[in-house]
Amino acid sequence: MCSNVHVLPLQFGFNGKMRFNCVMKPGHVTRHFRFGLILGFLAATCSLPSAVSQRPISSLDTTTIAEQYLLSAANQERAARGLSVLQRDPQLARAAAGHAREMAAHRSISHQFQGEAELTDRGSRAGVPFSVISENVGEAPSVVQIHDMWMHSEHHRANLLDPSIDSAGISVIARGGELYAVEDFVRLVRSFSLEDQEAAIESMVLQSGRMALASDPDATSIARRTCAMSTGFAGSAKPWFVMRFTSDSLTQLPDQLKSRVASGRYRRAAVGACAGSRSSFTSYSFAVLLYP
């Protein structure tokens, strides 16, 4: 049995015993800086004929043998290719468990059932701060079969081996001799105070050019207010250049900003962080003001 649901055109073949559901989710892009590209596919989903049964599984706060196996198997595949191993995220595991229960209740596999939140909302509502999220779902009598099918499906495998992810939430629910498995993958965005965020950007600005931080005691406050504005700038002193950008990382500046800082045209800089826009995806938001 086969089906295919997607947003962008896809080209791949089908196995008669496999069901596929794929969704394209583009990353958020601002005018200045792209902070994340969400996986091109939510993975192919698979259904296998009867084989080995597993014990019922229902715990949300502890991992079961089946869930431990899927995480271990994923990490073995990643380690064999020089990729970082995934850490279990309990909040993401709860989101996966909710969806696995839905699949078991429907005795079917899907990335979203009628009345159910979509993947990004499920992760966000579980309290997971992420910039990348993807999902594999599958149905089979054993998790060994499920993992094997995922690794033999191009889009499942791409999700599992994505180098940009760092955490996973896995749930397996048993019903009627079948296992319903959900693997949710994310790249977590760590929580930092505005001061720590600003310090990280300030350090990179100072390293990139010959300039000093603005000495005005209100400089940070002005930059923060500018960050919260869609256009223009706060304060009476007019900056020669203003850049607002969002990022899921505190380790690199946008290329345009690096070029401006290194140009030698500016002598002072002010950096302000602010709360990002309301979205399922988590990011840091900044304004950098450059003065002569």
Q: Give the C-alpha separation, 38 to 283, whole Å.
A: 13
pLDDT recorded at residue 281 = 82
Vertex 136 angle, CA 130 and 139, to 5°: 145
pLDDT of 42 higher than 80: no
pLDDT recorded at residue 249 = 86
Task: Give me the mean pLDDT over the 167-175 stretch.
Answer: 96
Helices (H), 131-183: 143-151, 154-160
The overall average pLDDT reported for the chain is 80
pLDDT of 210 higher than 70: yes
- What is the sign, positive or negative, of the torsion defined by CA atoms of 46, 49, 53, 58? positive
pLDDT of 276 higher than 80: no
pLDDT recorded at residue 289 = 97
Write down the pTM of the prediction. 0.69
pLDDT recorded at residue 25 = 32
DSSP track, 201-250: HHHHHHHHSS-EE---TTHHHHHHHHHHSSSS-SSSSPPSEEEEEEES-S
More confidently predicted of 240 and 63: 240
pLDDT of 16 higher than 70: no
